[in-house]
Amino acid sequence: MPHSPKEIIQSILPNSYQATQETAQAFAPANIALIKYWGKRDKILNLPNTSSLSLSLGNRGTTTQVSQTEKQDVIILNQQHVNPESHFYQRLVNYLSYFRPHPTFYFHIETQNTIPVAAGVASSSSGFAALVKALDIYFDWRLPLHQLSVLARLGSGSACRSLWDGFVLWHKGEEEDGLDSFAEPMTLTWPDLCVGLLMVDQSPKKYGSREAMNHTVETSPLYAYWPTVVEKDLASMVKAIQVRNFSAFGQILEGNACAMHATMLASRPAIIYHQPQTLALIDQIQRLREQGLSIFFSQDAGPNLKLFFLATDLKKVQKNFPTLEVVVP
């Protein structure tokens, strides 16, 4: 049974392969979890304790170009060379090392985000997904998407959901090697569902989702209840999307995000991603809702909020949140 990322990746990739073109490029959308992934049963393989459900952000995401270079891997992020000493570089190179066709093959990776990095807006999700898509083209593996989803998951859990547009379900899987833990697109659509990004702070967050998640699992007395919350929320969310019941959708969405943050608040010491402005915005959203405007929020591992509303309310929402970046997935 293969259990290290390298062995698992080797079991998916062809025995030998080489670049079939000079350069390859791919795009992957960022995704926002409607029902969150929080907590792993395997930290090395990014195997989750629960399934999760996301919505992809259309043309907001990452475009990545792969080619070969000499001597050492080169990573260019948003037109800037990434310092080889940085955590970002090390993490990516560690991941890339699983894919070298031979030990002295070095990658030149150029990546461009249309979404802020490390601000809790799921940029790592589209990053690893775009990278595996580009590698697949570059080496002509022609892997099915669910296998690319496994590869992306080994880079960052939520990345396994960024291989598709629309609503995407990540099955937690049961196997120890995680080959059954991949995402899949749902056949459901909701054309007038809108998402807006409410940026509070674009600087890198205090703690990464990886550390925060592990700390919560290890120390939060409320975490034990989280899998039960997710199971219920996931089933009700699928129903709400099927019948396009926006108010049920919004209540489950918001409740699930708040429950995730509650597990973090109860961890010791507490993990608090909320900033004063995050709370002020939540208050504003709740007041507007009392006045009849149907808007709901979600929040990930950062202080920023995602607003959900229907296209009919777009003008009103924009009037109340002039800085909102609207995405119609």
Please, what is the minimum distance in Å from the beta carbon of residue 261 to ligand PMV?
9
Say which residues have a Cβ less than 8 Å from residue 288's Cβ, sequence separation at least 6. 295, 320
Asked if residue 157 binds ligand PMV (CB under 6 A), the reply is yes
Asked if residue 92 binds ligand PMV (CB under 6 A), the reply is no
Closest CA to 7 of 51, 47, 44: 44
The mark string for 271-290 relative to ligand PMV (x by CB under 6 A, - otherwise) is --------------------
Please, what is the minimum distance in Å from the beta carbon of residue 301 to ligand PMV?
4
- C-beta contacts of 94-101 below 8 A and 24+ residues apart: 95/128, 95/131, 95/154, 95/155, 98/5, 98/6, 98/9, 98/154, 99/9, 99/13, 99/135, 99/139, 101/16, 101/17, 101/18, 101/19, 101/139
Instruction: By CB under 6 A, name the one of 8, 33, 195, 264 that touches ligand PMV.
Output: 33
The CA dihedral of 267, 156, 129, 49, to the nearest 10 degrees, is -70
- Token pair 């309310």 is at which residue? 313
Asked if residue 301 binds ligand PMV (CB under 6 A), the reply is yes
Q: Which is nearer to ligand PMV, 24 or 220 (CB)?
A: 220
Q: Which is nearer to ligand PMV, 33 or 252 (CB)?
A: 33
Stretch touching ligand PMV by CB under 6 A, among 156-164, 195-203, 217-225, 321-329? 156-164
Please, what is the minimum distance in Å from the beta carbon of residue 254 to ligand PMV?
14
Task: Count the residues in the chain.
Answer: 329
- The footprint of ligand PMV (CB under 6 A) covers 33, 36-37, 52, 122, 124, 156-158, 209-210, 300-301
